[in-house]
Structure 1
Amino acid sequence: MTPAPHLVTVAHGTRTAAGNEVARRLTEAAAARLGWAATASYVELCAPLFAEVVADVATPAVAVPLLLSTGYHLRQDLPAMLAATDRPVRLGRSLGPDVLLAAAQADRLRAAGATPGQPVVLVAAGSTDPAASADLDAAAHLLAHAWGAPVRLATLSGRGPRLAEVVRPGDAVSPYLLATGHFHHRARRDAYAAGAGVVAGVLGPHPRLVDLVVERARALAPAAVRVPV
């Protein structure tokens, strides 16, 4: 039986300590479910950096990006970091779009006081990558299905409309963000300035995100690895 791989998660990283803690909590919870060793890492702004972790890992590893959509980091930065090392690491795709993320968003909306049928604006950090735009359109569709009401899309940067163009008075806003930080603070400010009635919390270490990280790690593991269910 092949030994269990080392789970390496990789989040973007933020200067906000509480935001970086989300990646660590998700990683610890997923590792406990899998029974694997695990390390949370970051693309930038927080240690340990992904490049440093994969250079030091002694066993075969699987890398699960804690990134919600395709973009430059996933298509360029992370593969380049792996190419610079000879370590055996399997890199996964972005977490989203996925029904588990939509379920977590719906929970966050309810917790914030949004009511069934209330129109929602999904707001994402945004990207200039066209592939990211397709991912975000799909994420909005999945949230509409999970929430049971119309969902419109806004972004804070890159391609797509801004909150001021999309939010209507009384809308609920669902930040499509893993953790608190610059984009989260900006999303709340801009949403309320545009007339939103409710702004949900970030996804955070929601149980459905733990499920998703475990699912992605299992899919990356070699077939000969015995993976707990």
Structure 2
Amino acid sequence: MSTRIIVCGHGTTSHLGRSALASLVNAIRRHAPGCEVVDAFVDVQQPSLADVVAETSGPRVIVPLLLNHDCATARLMNEVAADDPLVRVAPAMGPDWVLAEIGVRRLIEAGAKPSDTIVMVAPQADGSKALADVSKAARLLSAVWGGPVHVGVVDGVGTPVEDALDVARAHSHRVVVSMYALASGEGASAIGRLGADVVTAPLLGAGAPDPRLVSLALERARVLQAPGHVDSAI
């Protein structure tokens, strides 16, 4: 029996964000022949993850569309999986080198230059594990970009984004915000209102999703489809 892939993340009220997420799910579906791929959400949009799991059967892998650890979402996904032995939760999408590579692509598309001061901004970090993930994502982005990257967080623990931007402006260079968000939404909009000289697009921009994001999501699912794999929480 083939494993059903449940692609799950936060919903959004943004039309652009919804379109980008739908495009990603459709691309995953096209590149996963023999597997049924369905989408689900933990909030804002429908269907809910709990409903999708209740209405399906057989082996299922939940692929979290999360760029860093999210305590509430991780707890929800693991609780849903705990009620059915055929449901497992794959690792989150980030942090990962693939996201850093796409982040640099967004910087280049936005016109970022080596002389700019780069600040990677995450919408939220709700605890020490999330902050560690965001910090690692910034280190990966720095390595691919080839220059220093500051870190700011809109909501939660870590350096408040206002402080990160103040430090960046002290360098007397143009400040470019690298948006560490998957798609347009409230978090991404908050980042866009920060007053930086340049703000990049989310990792899921307009048009077809980057093929590397599709491959990353499928790789997360395949980790749990491998024989003898031991599950690990996101």
Under a length normalisation based on structure 2, what TM-score does the superposition of the two structures give?
0.87
Match of 1:106 in 2: 104
Q: What is the CA-CA distance between 1:94 and the residue it aligns to?
A: 1.4
2:11/2:18 contact within 8 Å kept: yes
Deviation digits for residues 90-143 of structure 1 (CA, Å, limit 9, x no counterpart): 101211110000001011111111123532100001222110011011000000
Q: Note the residue ranges of structure 1 that are not aligned, 5 or more in a row.
A: 225-229
Match of 1:24 in 2: 22
1:197 and 2:178 matched: no
Q: 2:23 is paired with a residue of what secondary structure? A: helix
Counterpart amino acid of 1:57?
A: T
1:54/1:87 contact within 8 Å kept: no
Deviation digits for residues 124-178 of structure 1 (CA, Å, limit 9, x no counterpart): 0122211001101100000000111110100010001222211234111111001
Q: What is the CA-CA distance between 1:222 and the residue it aligns to?
A: 4.2
CA distance in 1, matches of 2:115, 2:23: 32
CA distance in 2, matches of 1:117, 1:221: 45
1:53 and 2:57 matched: no
Q: 1:126 is paired with a residue of what secondary structure? A: strand
2:60/2:87 contact within 8 Å kept: yes
Counterpart amino acid of 2:74?
A: R
Q: 1:209 is paired with a residue of what secondary structure? A: helix
Deviation digits for residues 24-53 of structure 1 (CA, Å, limit 9, x no counterpart): 221221221121210111101101111111
Q: What is the CA-CA distance between 1:71 and the residue it aligns to?
A: 1.8
1:94 and 2:92 matched: yes
Q: What is the CA-CA distance between 1:59 and the residue it aligns to?
A: 2.6
Counterpart amino acid of 1:177?
A: A
Q: 2:7 is paired with a residue of what secondary structure? A: strand
Identity of aligned residues (%): 33
1:27/1:39 contact within 8 Å kept: yes
CA distance in 2, matches of 1:180, 1:15: 9
CA distance in 1, matches of 2:162, 2:128: 22
CA distance in 2, matches of 1:28, 1:181: 20
Cα 1:19–1:82 change in 2 (3 A) is: same
1:213 and 2:198 matched: no
Deviation digits for residues 160-214 of structure 1 (CA, Å, limit 9, x no counterpart): 1222211234111111001111111111111x2xxx2211000113222112101
1:23/1:66 contact within 8 Å kept: no
CA-based RMSD: 1.7
Q: Note the residue ranges of structure 2 that are not aligned, 5 or more in a row.
A: 229-234
Which of 86, 106, 131 aligns to 2:129? It is: 131
2:13/2:185 contact within 8 Å kept: yes
Counterpart amino acid of 1:200?
A: T
CA distance in 2, matches of 1:197, 1:25: 29
Counterpart amino acid of 2:213?
A: L
Counterpart amino acid of 2:224?
A: L
Which of 160, 163, 187 aligns to 1:162? It is: 160
Match of 1:227 in 2: none
- Structure 1's consecutive aligned runs of 4 or more residues displaced over 3 angstroms after TM superposition are none
